[in-house]
Amino acid sequence: MPLTEAALLAWGFAFARLAGWTLFDPLLARLPLGGRLMLAAALAAALAPGLATPPVSAQGAALLPMLALEVLWGAGLALGVAVVFTLARLVVLWTGHTATAGLLTLTPQQGDTSDAAWRALAGWLAVLAFLGAGGHLLVVAALRESFAVMPVAGLPAVEDLRRLGESVGWLFATGATLALPLLALALLIQLAFFVLARTTPGLDMFSMGLGLAAVGLLAAWIVAVPVIARGITEGLTQLGFWFAAWTDVR
């Protein structure tokens, strides 16, 4: 691809969208800011030759607002990955809190310290599961398809905004559907601990909580795996329908 003003402009808009994705993607949160921006620049250089030439209106005073819009598009694409990682962290944190019956978390300062190991474990488990399922390839494919669905330096139409709002609402509903049963299970176990503590004052709450939490986590894992697999399959299918619909409209 020859190095022209139009090519540089296309690379700049692609870099803005990819930078918005790298800044908010939880999978890349462990990388320094410079490393994330370098990754965005490399991906933009690889994708820029296949992008449409930005319109003339994308120059001058309208350049900064359109770059900001591209950053927002990239941040929106990172939302889908953030939902999965947030769910994994909540599951592990609720398990740790249930295992101790909430007795080791007295203040927010103590809670941050006691939950640090659980947060680290949840983060690594989420990363391994995401990479093992090929999630990084799906993200790159979604980013590539996003440039065909939403061309750079183009203002979205009303129908596009409506479809985007529906997709964001679907992601939120999926995360809530997966998280609410686990929250209800944790609350029920806490209620059982309260009853046991009132009826049996000398009971070792930590040992009891660790055993119940292990059994509850095993049961939740057996029940949740088919639900999560079905939800991911339906989500990818729905995402393909949205991409196809957007492409037909354009």
Q: Are 203 and 196 in contact (CB under 8 A)?
A: yes
Taking CA atoms, 79 is separated from 18, 218, 225, 235, in Å, by 13, 28, 22, 13
Between CA 190 and CA 197 the distance in angstroms is 10
Neighbouring residues of 237: CB distance < 8 A, sequence distance ≥ 6: none
- Kindly tell me if the per-residue pLDDT of 157 is higher than 70: no
Give the dihedral of Cα atoms 148, 151, 156, 161; nearest 10 deg: 30
- 243: closest CA among 145, 143, 97, 101? 145
Burial 47-74 (b: 16+ CB within 10 A, else e): bbeebeebeeebeeeebeebbebbbebb
pLDDT band at residue 242 under the 50/70/90 scheme = low
Question: Model confidence over 195-206: pLDDT tens digits?
Answer: 766 776 666 555
115 vs 17, residue with greater confidence: 17
- Do the beta carbons of residue 87 and residue 178 sit within 8 Å? yes
Distance of alpha carbon 155 from alpha carbon 97, whole angstroms: 46
Residue range 18-72, pLDDT digits in tens: 888 888 887 777 788 888 888 888 888 888 777 766 665 556 666 777 888 888 8
**Structure confidence at residue 106 (pLDDT):** 47
**Residue 222 and residue 226: Cα distance in Å, rounded?**
8
